[in-house]
Chains A and B, each alone.
Chain A
Amino acid sequence: MSTHEWPLWEVFIRSKAGLNHKHVGSLRAADAEMAVENARDVYTRRSEGISIWVVESKDIYASDPTEADALFEPADSKIYRHPTFYDVPDGISHM
């Protein structure tokens, strides 16, 4: 057996309290515990994090980039979801 069989893990880091975990990269490790330890050494050498998530890469189900247009186009046409779509008379505040 060799590292060949060590799974690939995606690493997510919360940089400080109040912020969400953000994807920072990936690494190989034998198990989840080792993945967290390695992630600490590889991705937080300068106090970049206070919390680490690791997820086996194979468990991530991603949207298909070739279908991105069909998937996201419906939102593009709904400009009325943005406040700038609306006319507010001059002199109105707190809105």
Chain B
Amino acid sequence: MEEINYAELERRFQEKIDKDIKIEPKDWMPDDYRQTLIRQISQHAHSEIVGMLPEGNWITRAPNLRRKAVLLAKVQDEAGHGLYLYSAAETLGADREETIDDLHSGKAKYSSIFNYPTLTWADMGAIGWLVDGAAIMNQVPLCRCSYGPYARAMVRVCKEESFHQRQGFEIMTKLAQGTPEQKAMAQDALNRFWWPSLMMFGPNDAESKHTAQSVKWKIKRHTNDELRQQFVDVTVPQAEMIGLTIPDKDLKFNEATGHYEFGEINWDEFWQVVAGNGPCNKDRIDTRRKAKENGEWVREAASAYAAKQAELKRA
């Protein structure tokens, strides 16, 4: 076979990307592309898994059976999303056990939104509406990501996400139409989750170091600020419709641009939470770690059973 140098392989790779030909696990890819994807996909997987915790907190206290069944199904979906994504990361050569250990040791990051506590039932509404809403904005373009397994996982995820947002908005709507206390509870949840939801799109474009290369590789299709703006534009009218107020005194519609202008995000808070100093960072990781430790004997038993069955089959 002819010797092909790295530059030529890279040129052919970029040519495929430019032609919208998907990259599959065994195809040649630059190491940086592989590493970028492993980082992004595993962070995404961790976010799905840790994301179960704030809502899991309310499953036993859901106000009725219907709400409980819905929340349970929603949280179960998030577990599924985590699993699709861990598998996608594995296709790139990531070791699953190591990936999970990186989360537990604090080496790997996950979406900082899940480090905020869920204090009332209305938080289930705010999370579904805003957090899943923001996640959908981020994930829809990823369905066209250049890496096949990630794109396919995202198609599946996006199909499932739309009910997540609707069930949250339904909770908010019901509370907003309820007693003054219920409406106040909904408003309070919106007040607490609004800004952290805007932070979910990541730092401003000027501060975001990975964006340009990721756009070139078609891992990313839009910048953080574009997606954030899109989120604000669709969400503000939804809040108005149900009579809730977005907690931003600088928010105003700009007739000329057709977009909402919004206030300054507290990036200090964002970086603090990313660095591990949010209200629930420690609690989230401790919970995950404990879940793994407490499940160890089950995994051991299953492995022993499988080994024994395999032996019996051979005999």
Q: Which residues of A contact B (CB under 8 A)?
A: 1-6, 8, 25-28, 30-31, 34, 41-42, 45-46, 62, 64-66
Given the interface contacts A25-B152, A30-B303, A66-B28, does A4 sit within 8 Å of B77 by beta carbon?
no
Contact A1 B300 (CB under 8 A): yes
B54 to chain A, nearest CB (A): 21
- The smallest beta-carbon distance between A45 and chain B, in angstroms, is 6
Report the interface size for chain B: residues with CB under 8 A from the other chain: 30
Contact B306 A34 (CB under 8 A): yes
Whether A34 pairs with B87 at a CB distance below 8 angstroms is no
Report Cα–Cα, A57/B165, bound state, in Å. Answer: 35
Contact A2 B87 (CB under 8 A): no
B153 on the interface (CB 8 Å rule)?
A: yes
The answer to whether B83 and A1 have CB atoms under 8 Å apart is no
Closest CB of chain B to A38's CB: distance in Å? 8
Whether A6 and B84, one on each chain, are in contact in the complex, defined by CB atoms closer than 8 angstroms, is no
State in angstroms the CA–CA spacing of A41 and B72 once bound together.
Answer: 13
Cross-chain pairs A/B with CB under 8 angstroms, 18 sampled: A2-B303, A3-B97, A3-B299, A4-B96, A4-B97, A6-B303, A26-B90, A27-B83, A30-B305, A30-B306, A31-B305, A31-B306, A42-B80, A42-B83, A45-B76, A45-B80, A65-B28, A66-B28
Contacts known (A3-B299, A6-B303); A27 close to B310, Cβ less than 8 A: no
- Which secondary structure characterizes the binding site on chain B? helix
Interface residues of B in 289-315 (CB under 8 A from A): 296, 299-300, 302-306, 309-310
Whether B26 lies near A62 (C-beta < 8 A) is yes
Chain B hits for A8, CB < 8 A: 90
Q: In the complex, what residue of chain B is closest to A7 when comparing beta carbons?
A: B306
A2 adjacent to B296 (CB under 8 Å):
yes
Query: Most chain-B Cβ atoms within 10 A of its Cβ — which of A8, A26, A62, A66?
Result: A26
**Smallest CB separation, B303 vs chain A (Å):** 5
Within 8 A of A (CB), among B66-83: 73, 76-77, 80, 83
| Sample of 19 more A-B contacts, CB < 8 Å, known A30-B303, A42-B84 | A1-B303, A2-B97, A2-B300, A3-B97, A4-B96, A25-B84, A25-B87, A25-B156, A26-B87, A26-B90, A27-B83, A28-B96, A31-B302, A41-B76, A42-B80, A45-B76, A46-B160, A65-B24, A65-B28
Could you mark each residue 144-172 of chain B with 1 if its beta carbon is under 8 Å from any beta carbon of chain A, else 0? 00000100110010001000000000000
Q: Which residue of B lies closest to A6 (CB)?
A: B303
